[in-house]
Every structure is written in structure tokens, then in C-alpha cells.
Amino acid sequence: MQVYKFGGASAKDADGVRNIARVVGLKPDGGLLIVVSAMGKTTNALEDLTNAYVDRKDTEEIFNEIKAYHEGIMDGLFEDRNHPVYDEIANTFVEIDWILEEEPHDDYGFIYDQIVSIGELVSTKIVSAYLNHTGLANQWIDARNFIHTDNSYREGQVDWEKTRTSVTAANLSCDNKTYVSQGFIGGTSENFTTTLGREGSDYTAAIFATCLGAKAVTIWKDVPGVLNADPKLFPDTNKYEELSYYEALEMTYYGATVIHPKTIKPLQNACIPLYVKPFSAPTEPGTVIHNIKPAAILPAIIVKSRQSLFSLSTKDHSFITEAHLSSIFKCFSENHIRINLMQNSALTVSVCFDWDERRYKKLIAKLNEDYKVKYNTGLELLTVRHYQKEIILKLVAGKTIYLEQLNRNTAQYVVRGE
């Protein structure tokens, strides 16, 4: 059994879905589980729909655009509008209609997961139907029946024991069938949908692979493999032929977006290699992440935008102690906000994290109870693994530096561009 994961860019239009079929067709013997993300920018659109609903704004235009986008993809794939997939997709979108008819739930995360998860359900039903339509027999399965989580909406924590039991009981790896399932989503014991965190489809592939004892996981991307920088920001990038699990963990932790940060560890534990390959050239080798000793490699440049920097001090001007740090970490944890960088002095703690307006409001209200809070938004976090001085000087040139931190292997700068 192998696991393939296709992201939204792979399925953004009818040609993308046809290319998925070509890639799948290169493995005619089956024994494949395919994980597919929402199509194109559907997750962003469903987030906009969720926010409009919660804020009691008009949702009709946004929702109609989402439905029309998927209908357009189906029109490009199926010759006959009487194909049953049209009714299947319409019925799936009705689940959102039912939600929009009710008053918004008090828990934004709960609403978010019930609406945004529909993107993965719709995309996988279209992809599964098209593969069957072209003779690539497959079975659609609902990831929520296999990946069990707690009730941490938007950041579902996987119950590994229960998940492993469900996957094992289904005997998915005991035949040469092909299965199509969703990334990003799971289910609670109350049968509500959860999501695993933004861009969590990679993590889904790793979960399935670990529970199946898969031979390998392949993530199909719009890049030739893992690059040492984002090609959209840096024109002269280089591809890694291979990476150790350790180095990949470090890169994803600091924000390298080619792989979701939670993906690597379960694969490392199970010694399952991870391939990152270009979906436009599926026979190219890409990058393999596997069990090799960490070695000196090209510097990796990682840029995270939409960053906030908080500087916290006690209201009575007392020293920052371990007790203060503990309370600050607890506050961030309770609001499901991951700290990207922190630095403390005698009287202040500086914390850099991803901007999220709704979570931010709750966070700052809680922190203001015990601390003076100064903050900046709209910043960037620059990280260079295996840094060289000339690279850093070039990266920060013309930028205002708010915070810098260096260790033996990694340099980080919180900056604002001029």
C-alpha cells in the first residue's frame, strides 16, 4: 500500500483533475490510498463564507460562486450533466445550506469546521467519480470514519489508538484496491467534523500511512521537490535531492510551507519515506525525506508573513519569572496560538506568532488582565537554517528589525519591509 496526497493546486481545474488521473494511472496495480485537498482556493472561499455567516452578512454571493466553481470543473470533466456526481455534489452543499439557515453557534471554531470541511468532501467526490469514469476503479471513503479527534475545533488532536483501530479494522491494505479520501478533516465521538489545522492534508496522509504500514507517502506539488526557498519570493532556488527526517522537521517547524509541520514525525516513527514530487512531471525523482544522518546542506530560507509581535511586561514592573512564562504559555495554548519565536529579558517577554484576528481578540483580552501589552502587526518572520552572513545581510537590507535571534544553525529576524 502507498499513499498519494494531492493538494488544492493539483485539482484547481478540470485539467488538474485529469492530471491526477494520469498520475494515478502510472500505478495500475492498485494498493493505493489517495488523499485530496479542497480544490484550488476553496478553503479560503469557505473561510470567507464562514466569516460572513458569523458576522451576519450576506452569504448568498460567496456561496453561489463556490458552487459555480465546482460545477465548472465538473462540466469540464463529464460530458453528461445527468452524471450522478452532479446530484452528489449538490446534496453535499445542502449541508452548508442547513447551517446557514440557523443562528450562528457561539463557538466559531465549531462553525468553521462544519462549513470549511465541505471543501474536502466535494473535491474527493469529484475526483473519485472522474477516476471511475476513466476506468480507474476506486472506492470513496470518509476520513471522518477513520481519523478520530478530540473536540479541539480547527486544531483537532488525533486519538491515535482509536484511529489505528478503525483503519486496521477496515482492512484497506489487504487488497489491491484504490481508495480516495479527504485530507484536513476528522471526526469526534459525537460525530461532529473537526479540522486538523490549516494545510493539514499532508498530516492526514501521514496518519493513514502510519496506520496502514504504507510503503511510502508521495506528496504531489507544483514544485520539483523541496526547495531551499519559496520560488515565488526567490528566483534562484535549489532542490534538495534528499533530506533527513530531522532536517525536514526543523524546516517545517520554522514555517516551510511545502509540507505540513505535523507530517514528518509519525512517518519518522514508522520509518516510512516521504517523497515530494512535481505533479506536472510525475516521473521526475523529486525529493525524498528518509532515515539518513543529518548532514551539511544548502541554507534554507523561510519567510512567514502576517506575523504579530507582542511585548509583555508585568503591571507592577517586577522581574519576569518562570511563573510568568508559565501563565503566558498557558494563555497561548488555551487560544490555540502557536508561538513562532520568543525572547525574554529581565522585565519583558517578546512573542512572535501568526496573526489570526478572531483568536487575537481573545488572547489580548486575557493577557491584558495581568500584563501590559505592546504589539506590532503586519510583520514578517525570516528564518535561515545553516545561515551564512552574506545571506542574512541581503535578506534584512532595507528592513526594520524588531527582533533577532541566532543559534548555531538557525538565524531568525522579525522585520517590517520598507
How much is the mean pLDDT over the chain? Answer: 94
Mean pLDDT across 83-103: 97
pLDDT of the residue at 407: 92
* Contact between 70 and 122 (Cβ < 8 Å): yes
pLDDT of the residue at 296: 66
pLDDT of the residue at 190: 96
% residues pLDDT > 90 (the chain): 87
Alpha-carbon torsion (390, 396, 398, 400), positive or negative: negative
* Contact between 85 and 125 (Cβ < 8 Å): yes
- Cα(334)–Cα(292) distance, rounded to whole angstroms? 37
Mean pLDDT across 138-150: 98
Cβ atoms within 10 Å of 406's Cβ, excluding its own: 12
Per DSSP, what are the bridge partners of residue 406?
A: 411
Mean pLDDT across 358-387: 92
Mean pLDDT across 82-111: 95
| pLDDT exceeds cutoff 80 at 191 | yes
* Contact between 194 and 152 (Cβ < 8 Å): yes
pLDDT of the residue at 176: 86
The residue behind cell 544522518 is: 293
- Cα(303)–Cα(326) distance, rounded to whole angstroms? 28
The candidate with the shortest Cα–Cα distance to 85, out of 134, 42, 51, 43, is 134
Name the grid cell of 237. Answer: 532556488
| pLDDT exceeds cutoff 70 at 212 | yes
Higher per-residue pLDDT: 362 or 272: 272
- 3-state secondary structure at position 342: strand
| pLDDT exceeds cutoff 70 at 356 | yes
For 159-174, how does the pLDDT look when each residue is reduced to its tens digit (9 = 90+)? 999 999 999 999 998 7
Cβ atoms within 10 Å of 58's Cβ, excluding its own: 9
Rg from Cα positions in the chain? 22
* Contact between 221 and 278 (Cβ < 8 Å): yes
For 23-61, how does the pLDDT look when each residue is reduced to its tens digit (9 = 90+)? 999 988 889 999 999 999 999 999 999 999 999 999 999
295 — pLDDT class (breaks 50, 70, 90): confident
- Cα(109)–Cα(123) distance, rounded to whole angstroms? 22
For 232-253, how does the pLDDT look when each residue is reduced to its tens digit (9 = 90+)? 899 889 999 999 999 999 999 9
Cβ atoms within 10 Å of 104's Cβ, excluding its own: 15
% residues pLDDT > 70 (the chain): 100
pLDDT of the residue at 199: 80
The candidate with the shortest Cα–Cα distance to 392, out of 299, 255, 254, is 299
- Cα(128)–Cα(119) distance, rounded to whole angstroms? 14
| pLDDT exceeds cutoff 70 at 111 | yes
The enclosing H or E element of 95 equals helix 84-100
DSSP code, position 239: B
Structural domains of the chain in order of their starting residue, each with its CATH number? 2-215 (3.40.1160.10), 300-417 (3.30.2130.10)
pLDDT of the residue at 418: 67
Contacts of 116 (CB under 8 A, 6+ apart): 43, 46, 47, 50, 195
- 3-state secondary structure at position 359: helix
| pLDDT exceeds cutoff 90 at 293 | no
DSSP letter string, 113-152: HHHHTHHHHHHHHHHHHHHHHTT---EE--GGGT-BB-S-
DSSP letter string, 9-63: GGGSSHHHHHHHHHHHHT-TT--EEEEE--STTHHHHHHHHHHHHHTT---HHHH
